A = this chain, B = another copy of it.
Amino acid sequence: MRQRHEFHVDSTRYLDDHGKPLGELPPQAEQTERTLAAYRNMVLTRAFDTKTIALQRTGKCGTYPSVLGHEVIGTAIGQSLASTDVFVPYYRDQATHILRGVSLTELLLYWGGDERGSAWKHCPEDLPISVPIATQCCHAVGVASAFRIRGEARAVVCCVGDGGTSKGDFLESINLAGAWHLPVVFVVINNQWAISTPRTVQSSAETIAQKAIGAGLPGHVVDGNDYFAVTETMDQALARAHGGKGASVIEAVTYRLGDHTTADDATRYRSAEELKKAWERDGLKRLQNYLHNTGLWDPEQEKRLQSECKEAVDRAVEAYLATEPEPPTAMVDYLFETVPMALQAQRERIADKYRARTGQGGAA
């Protein structure tokens, strides 16, 4: 006697590689202001990215992970999130952070080796950048649990890379999200690579979205270079979460157009042709084409936007470079709410050495 249990995941796409609609667009396409704001954020993100890489190359910033190729996804996420929601990032979510109100200067401080880069003034409940892969997924379900416990109609969006979906944290967390019916949306940013490891080495699953099935959750694949597809999917998943209908997993398919970080050299492990092909699918250019084609954007506006973005980035860089490092005593001051007895002698030693080196008394 046999019985069959069936499952599926759908994938969505609205625009072709040139920005031409493949059919009817989702209702989000009528929100012109939102679409234009999205485009502006993508351009700003890319300008920031280019500049930060340049800073790193000239020794003015630390190792930095380029967001090139992720702008559409990050922007759509940032727009879909309510300000009362909580965003749980990984480390390549610059586009979303900017929409959440993290300042460019704060982002630079973080990658420039200064803890104050995570002391965001805006969206103070958002989690900081998470470097240990996939660990943030567990925090996301914890935050969503807090909402459920308190009966708040808020939701969480958690980002993770394709590589991160091999790690227990992701798999355990989506399972809990299903079991506890939590208001959380997991967005897997499948950029085809985890440093040098291609998507196919991570898993023989045809899609990453199908990992949702084992957690009892709906999974969706979406073209991550298609602003309307990502936006519609995010809006629906968040509506579901806000409406108490539970969690979802979205696989947003894109391509990491840059090196893994400024410490990486991607030519070691992937071909120029592959990269060239990926550029043809670039989501920023695709949306730009769409906007041009529909008359919502013109070269003049583009020029103005480019220079506005450049200025914004330059201002941020200036502020970043002008920020004095913290006195080293800060390394002890934020460990606990108050400095414990056991650490006070060490704190004094740090302060003494700092004074001796700089002549400054501020650290005491």
Contact surface of A with B, Cβ cutoff 8 Å: 1-14, 22-23, 166-169, 171-172, 175, 178-179, 181, 201-207, 209-217, 221
Contacts and interface: CB of A to CB of B under 8 A. Distances in A.
Main secondary structure of the interface of A (DSSP, over half): mixed
Copies in the complex: 2
Scoring A6, A172, A201, A204 by chain B CB atoms within 10 A of each residue's CB, the highest score goes to: A204
B213 A214 contact: yes
Contacts of A4: 8-11
A203 B211 CA distance: 13
Nearest to A171: B171
Contact of A214 (B5, B13, B168, B205): B205
B7 A11 contact: no
A206 B215 CA distance: 9
A37 B13 CA distance: 57
B204 A181 contact: yes
9 contacts: A1-B14, A5-B207, A7-B7, A168-B169, A171-B214, A178-B203, A203-B215, A204-B215, A204-B216
B178 A172 contact: no
Contacts of A206: 5, 216
A1 B12 contact: yes
A7 B207 CA distance: 11
A107 to B, nearest CB: 31
Contacts of A22: 1
Contacts of A217: 204
Given A203-B178, A216-B204, A5 B1 contact: no
Given A2-B10, A5-B207, 8 more contacts: A4-B8, A5-B11, A5-B206, A6-B6, A168-B169, A171-B214, A203-B214, A204-B216
A7 B6 contact: yes
A179 B23 CA distance: 36
B11 A3 contact: yes
Given A6-B7, A7-B8, A179 B203 contact: yes
Nearest to A207: B5
A162 to B, nearest CB: 12
A215 B9 CA distance: 15
Contacts of A216: 203-206
Contacts of A167: 168, 172
Contact of A179 (B178, B202, B215): B202
Contacts of A3: 10-11, 221
